[in-house]
C-alpha cells in the first residue's frame, strides 16, 4: 500500500465501522420490538418465530396465561437470543411448567434458540430441521478464552442440569457447543450428535 493512500483507507474503514455499528444497533432495536410468541389458532399451539429478545419472557407468560390449556410450543425459526439472561429464565420457566417443544419442518434453531428447545418436556425435530451451536462472546472475550470450570461457564452448565441433564451430560454438551464453532460461525449438528445429546425424547 502506498503511504499517501493510507489515511484515505483508514478514514474509509472508520466510516464503514461506524455505519456497520449503527446498522447493527438499528437491527437490534427492531428485534427488541418484535413479539416472537403468538397463539396459533389453527394448530392450537404457542408459536415461536424470531430471535428471543428482552420482552420474550413476559410475552410468553401473557400468551400462555391466556391459553392455559396449551402445553405445546411450535418453533418456526429461532436463530438465537439477544438477552441470554432472559433466555435462560424463560427456558427454565418452560421446563418447570411442563411445556413440550417441536421444531417444525424446515425450521432452524441456533445458539440461544437451541438452549430454549432443550427445555421441552417432550422434544420433536421435524423433517429437514437444523440445529446450530457455537461459542458465546461478550466484552471482547469468547467462551474458549476461559478454562474449564471458570465461573463464566457455570450459568449454562447449571441450566442444562436444571432441565434434567446429569452433571456429566451438562458439562459434555456445554463444552461441545463452545468448541464446535467460533462465536461468529455456526456448527450444524449431525444426526449422530443430535442422538448423542438426546435432542428428541
Confidence check: pLDDT of 124 > 60: yes
Is 19 part of any domain?
A: no
Domain count, the chain: 1
Q: Would 139 be classed as within a structural domain?
A: no
CA nearest to 60, candidates 37, 87, 84, 81: 37
Question: What CATH number has the domain bearing residue 187?
Answer: 3.90.226.10
Q: Give the CA diameter of the chain.
A: 70
Whether the per-residue pLDDT at 201 is higher than 50: the answer is yes
From the list 27, 56, 188, the residue with the least C-alpha distance to 109 is: 188
Residue 8 resides in a domain: no
Q: Which domain holds residue 111?
A: 34-133+183-196
pLDDT at 44: 96
Please tell me the predicted confidence (pLDDT) of residue 133.
98
**Over the chain, what is the mean pLDDT?**
89
151-168 confidence digits (pLDDT tens): 999 999 999 999 999 999
pLDDT surpassing 70 at residue 119: yes
pTM recorded for the entire structure: 0.86
pLDDT band at 21 (very low <50, low <70, confident <90, very high): low
Amino acid at each position: 500500500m502506498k503511504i499517501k493512500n493510507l489515511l484515505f483507507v483508514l478514514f474509509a474503514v472508520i466510516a464503514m465501522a461506524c455505519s456497520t455499528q449503527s446498522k447493527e444497533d438499528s437491527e437490534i432495536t427492531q428485534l427488541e420490538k418484535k413479539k416472537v410468541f403468538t397463539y396459533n389458532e389453527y394448530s392450537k399451539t404457542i408459536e415461536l418465530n424470531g430471535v428471543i429478545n428482552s420482552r420474550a419472557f413476559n410475552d410468553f407468560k401473557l400468551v400462555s396465561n391466556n391459553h392455559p390449556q396449551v402445553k405445546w410450543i411450535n418453533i418456526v425459526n429461532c436463530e438465537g437470543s439477544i438477552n441470554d439472561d432472559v433466555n435462560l429464565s424463560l427456558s427454565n420457566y418452560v421446563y418447570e411448567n411442563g411445556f413440550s417443544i417441536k421444531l417444525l419442518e424446515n425450521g432452524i434453531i441456533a445458539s440461544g434458540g437451541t438452549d430454549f428447545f432443550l427445555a421441552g418436556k417432550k422434544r420433536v425435530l421435524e423433517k429437514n430441521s437444523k440445529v446450530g451451536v457455537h461459542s458465546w462472546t461478550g466484552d471482547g472475550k469468547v467462551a474458549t478464552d476461559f478454562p474449564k470450570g471458570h465461573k463464566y461457564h457455570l450459568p449454562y452448565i447449571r441450566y442444562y442440569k436444571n432441565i434434567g441433564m446429569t452433571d456429566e451430560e451438562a458439562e459434555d454438551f456445554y463444552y461441545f457447543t463452545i468448541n464446535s464453532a467460533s462465536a461468529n460461525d455456526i456448527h450444524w449438528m449431525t444426526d449422530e450428535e443430535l442422538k448423542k445429546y438426546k435432542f428428541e425424547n
